[in-house]
A = this chain, B = another copy of it.
Amino acid sequence: MTEIKDVADWWATAVSRVEPGVIELRGRPIQELIGTASFVSVIWLLLRGQPPTPAQERLLEAALVASVDHGPHAPSIAAARIAATCGVGLNNAVATGVNLLGDTHGGAGQQCVELLEEVRRRAAGGADLDAAAAGAVAAWRAHTRYVPGFGHRFHPVDPRQEPLLSLVDGAVAEGTVDGDFLRAGRAVEAVLNRGRSRRIPMNIDGCTAIIYAELGFPAPLARGLFVLGRTVGILAHAWEETGQGRRNKGPMPPAILPTYLT
């Protein structure tokens, strides 16, 4: 009966199988994972279907660690802290933060992967890498002045860049990844900084986009993995705010509200 098939298909999934007494994640019994598989390898397993190699896992782990927090002024963290003072559950406060990791916030990594894929397409079409990067940047700037993955309003040098790119360099040397996206990213950085005195650095979205793309994750998962990493900081901040005991916290302190209001 086609109906039965349709019903079964409606919620069909390859991620997990759950039956009485049985929980399998991507075909592996959960009791074989608990205590033996690392959290990061299970993240990879669920998203990719197979576990990572140790070298792949190290790269993913570094990118996740680098993403956990950037202080309480990031809109996602600020909103989660505000939420934590409004009488909602800790899960609701975390969801509030995650919900804000949109196209211009947590989505920059996804766009950066798309940009780097465009550089690679142009280079595969015969352009040299520098010309490919220049062309991809120009195409991007025709739509918006923001080049995703580059520039920071805050950090002249982002302290996360050097350790992350060093790890990718090492992974290229060991043959873990190809290095095509790393080279594409550096070509974009060179294009952006040609003839400038004030440097436009590669930022956290750019560095992690390179890692995720080198590891074979499709562009939307660059956002998804950033969400996973940042959820840690969102939770830590929401929890800390809970302990500070404010009620219905506004964005600015009462001390400067009179100035504001008049």
Cβ-closest 4 pairs across A and B: A87-B103, A87-B104, A251-B251, A88-B102
Partner of A259, one of B8, B39, B86: B8
Q: In the complex this chain forms, how many copies of it are found?
A: 4
The answer on a CB contact under 8 Å between A89 and B71 is no
Chain A contacts to B: CB under 8 angstroms: 2-4, 6-11, 13-23, 25, 29-31, 33-35, 37-40, 42-43, 46-47, 58, 61-62, 64-66, 68-76, 78-79, 81-83, 85-92, 94-96, 98-107, 146, 153-160, 162-164, 166-167, 220-221, 223-224, 227-229, 231-233, 235-240, 242, 247-257, 259-262
Separation of A37 and B68 alpha carbons in the complex (Å) = 12
Known A-B contacts A71-B13, A250-B75; the reply to A91 vs B96 at CB < 8 A is no
The answer on a CB contact under 8 Å between B98 and A91 is yes
The answer on a CB contact under 8 Å between A47 and B236 is yes
- Show 9 A/B contacts (Cβ-Cβ < 8 Å), sorted by A: A11-B78, A11-B252, A16-B70, A21-B158, A37-B65, A86-B105, A88-B89, A92-B92, A104-B247
